[in-house]
Amino acid sequence: MSYTLEPIGVVYSCFTTKFGIPRQSGLARAAKATIEFYPPFDQASAFSGLSQCSHLWVEFIFHEFHISEFRPRVRPPRLGGNQTLGVFATRAPNRPNRLGLSVVKLEHVEIEKGKARLHISGHDLLNGTPVIDIKPYVPYADSLPEAQNTIAPAPPALIPVRFSPQALEQCNHEGTRLGQALQPLIEQLLGQDPRPQYQTPDPARRYAMTLFDLDVAWHYWLEGDTHGVEVVSVNRVTVPKG
Amino acid sequence: MSYTLEPIGVVYSCFTTKFGIPRQSGLARAAKATIEFYPPFDQASAFSGLSQCSHLWVEFIFHEFHISEFRPRVRPPRLGGNQTLGVFATRAPNRPNRLGLSVVKLEHVEIEKGKARLHISGHDLLNGTPVIDIKPYVPYADSLPEAQNTIAPAPPALIPVRFSPQALEQCNHEGTRLGQALQPLIEQLLGQDPRPQYQTPDPARRYAMTLFDLDVAWHYWLEGDTHGVEVVSVNRVTVPKG
C-alpha cells in the first residue's frame, strides 16, 4: 500500500544551494522566502483565516536528496560527523519518504487576483523545495516547554562574524540591489559555523556559500581558544534559476 | 511531478472509530498507543538515540478521509460547524495529500529481537493510522512560546464528567480486563465535549463512542447555565481488529 503525494506549491528562497542552510528553522531569522502555490491550491479562500496565525508548519520534500535504499543510521553534522544515530532520532534529510518539517514565521499572506502567496521568515528551506502541506502552528498543542531532547538540547553556539572592509562594501552594494538586509542574514548564517565539524577551522582554507545570486566567501580566524569567521567577498554570480 | 509515499509503520490505538478522538494531541494524556514498523524500517538501529527525546512528531495519513476534489474551505467542528475557514488555516483532515501531524509523548522504545516498537501517549491517532515518518521533537526549534494563533488560542474548555454507579463499576471491570486506566481516559476524552457543537446538549439524547473494544455511552446533564456529561454504560462490543 503506497500513497501518491502531489506538491501544492514551491519555495522561492535565498538558499540557492544546500551548503550553509541552517540546520533547523528559527536559527536565521533574517532568512526570508515566499511560497507560491499551484492551482487549485492557490485559491485565496483556502488561506482564509491564516493571517491569524503567527507561525506555520511547512511540510516539504527534501528534493535534492536521493536515497536508493534505507539506511538506518546517519552521521549528524552537528555531532562532528563521526558519531552515528538512528535516522528516526534525527531530522536528517536522507530519511524514508524524504519528508521535511519546519516551523516558520508567517510574515504576510499576499493575495493578488484571488491567488495567495505566503511570505515567511526564519526558514531553512532550499530554493525550489516542493511543499506538500501548510498547517497553522497551534501553540497550546505544539509548544512544549517541558520537552527534552538531550541530543540537541540547545541551538548551536554562535561564533563571531566579521567582514573585511571590501566584503562589507560589496555586501551593502548587493543588499541594496536585491532589496535585502544582507549583513544580518550573513551574520546569522555564518555565526552557525556551517563548516563540516570534522574539519578544523583552518585560516588558510577558503569557504563559500551561495545566497540569492551571490557567492559569499569567508575564512576562519583563530585567537587563542576561540575561532570566528571573516567574510572576505560577496560577489554576484550567475546561478541557474530554481 | 508527484511523489510516492511508503508507510513505515502503523498505529495501534485505543481509538477504534473517529468519533470522540481529541482534536489535537496532548489533550488526553491518558491516551496510549503503540507504533509498529514495517521491515526494513523496524530495525532497532534506526531508533538509536531516540530514547533521549521526550516527545516525537508523528507524520501520518488521515486514511479514513477520502476527498475526491480539493475543497478550499472547511467548517471546523470547534467553531460550531457554521463558520468556514481556509483549509490551510486549520488542521482539518480533509486536506490535500491527507497529511496529519501530531506531537506525542514518547513513553518507551521497546526493542524485541532487534525490532523496535514505540509506546506513546497523549496522542489523537485512529487505530490503523499509517505512519509515514517519525521525527524527534527539537524544543529549541519547535517550542515557540511567543507564537500566536487567535483561531485556536487555547485548548477547548473542559466540561465536568460523572459516571453513573453502574457505568463506574463496568469501567473498573473493563479497565482491569484491558490493563488500562480507563476512568481517567474517559474523563479526559468526554471532558472535551466531543458532541457536534451545533447540537445543543440535550439530556434526552444518548451519545456513544468506541474505545478499545468498548462502547462508552453518555448523556448530557444541564444545571443552570452549565452542562456536563454522565457516563451511563461501558460495555464490551465486538470491534473489527484494525
**Full-model pTM:** 0.95
Domains of chain B with CATH codes: 9-142 (2.40.30.70), 161-236 (no CATH)
Q: Is B89 in contact with A8 (Cβ distance < 8 A)?
A: no
The answer to whether the peptide bond before residue A160 is cis (omega within 30 degrees of 0) is: no
**Mode of pairing for the β-strands spanning B115-121 and B73-74:** unpaired
Interface membership of A235 toward B (CB under 8 Å): no
Cell of B96: 490535500
| CB < 8 Å from A in window 127-166 of B | 130, 132-155
Contact B59 A59 (CB under 8 A): yes
Q: How close A145 gets to chain B, by Cα (Å)?
A: 6
109-128 of B, contacting A, C-beta below 8 A? none
The CA distance from B151 to A138, in Å, is 9
Which positions ≥6 away from B235 have C-beta within 8 Å? B170, B214, B215, B217
Cα B73 to Cα A77: distance, rounded to the nearest angstrom: 42
* Cα A45 to Cα A24: distance, rounded to the nearest angstrom: 30
Rounded Cα gap, residues A219 and B234, in angstroms: 69
Q: How would you write the pLDDT of chain B (242 residues) with one tens digit per residue?
A: 899 999 999 999 999 999 999 989 999 999 999 999 999 999 999 999 999 999 999 999 999 988 789 999 999 877 777 789 999 999 999 999 999 999 999 999 999 999 999 999 999 999 999 999 999 999 999 999 999 999 999 998 899 999 999 999 999 999 999 999 999 999 999 999 998 877 888 889 999 999 999 999 999 999 988 899 999 999 999 655 55
Residue A62 neighbours by CB distance under 10 Å: 20
| B94 CB within 8 Å of a chain A CB | no
Q: What is the pLDDT of residues A180-220, one digit of tens each?
A: 999 999 999 999 999 887 788 888 999 999 999 999 999 99
Among residues B171, B181, B153, B154, the alpha carbon closest in space to that of B230 is found at B171
| C-alpha count within 13 angstroms, C-beta hemisphere, residue B199 | 13
pLDDT at A166: 98
A198 to A77, A161, B12: CA distances (angstroms): 8, 20, 42
Distances (CA, A) of B67 to A190, B63, B94, B98, B207: 45, 11, 6, 9, 27
Q: Does A60 touch chain B (CB under 8 A)?
A: no
Instruction: Please report residues of B whose CB lies closer than 8 A to that of A143.
Output: 142-145, 147
Residue-wise DSSP of B175-202: HHHHTS-HHHHHHHHHTT--S-TTS---
CA distance A141 to A68: 36
pLDDT at residue number A116: 97
| Residues of chain B neighbouring A103 (CB-CB closer than 8 A) | 141-142, 144
Q: How many CA atoms lie within 13 A of A87 on its CB side?
A: 21
In the prediction, which pLDDT does A198 show? 79
